[in-house]
């Protein structure tokens, strides 16, 4: 019974999934390549992390992204690393 309670708590805290799935299905909903701050390499930076430095913060679409809502993410500019 304890496992079930832990799973319910995780769902409540982290959404339906406790991690972000980078499947093809989810990548189709990704807005990264349309974003003004897109660094030009990859997508789904919220799940995979950016490996390349973005030149500048020139706008962010994360808050409008289906992935951001689905996984109850917090923050923006997942593509921007210092």
Tell me the per-residue pLDDT of 17-68, one tens digit each, with 9 for 90 and over.
445 777 767 788 899 999 999 888 888 888 887 877 766 889 999 999 988 9
Using a cut of 0.75, tell me whether the model's pTM lies above it: no
Q: What is the pLDDT of residue 61?
A: 94
Going 60 to 81 to 13 to 34, the CA torsion angle's sign is positive
Which comes out higher in pLDDT, residue 7 or 31?
A: 31
Task: Tell which wins on pLDDT, 4 or 69.
Answer: 69
């Amino acid at each position: 019974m304890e496992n079930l309670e832990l799973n319910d708590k995780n769902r409540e805290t982290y959404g339906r999934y406790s991690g972000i799935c980078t499947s093809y299905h989810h990548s189709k909903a990704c807005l990264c390549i349309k974003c003004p701050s897109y660094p030009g390499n990859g997508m789904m930076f919220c799940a995979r992390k950016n490996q390349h430095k973005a030149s500048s913060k020139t706008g962010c679409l994360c808050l409008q992204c289906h992935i951001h809502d689905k996984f109850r993410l917090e923050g923006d500019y997942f593509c921007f690393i210092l």
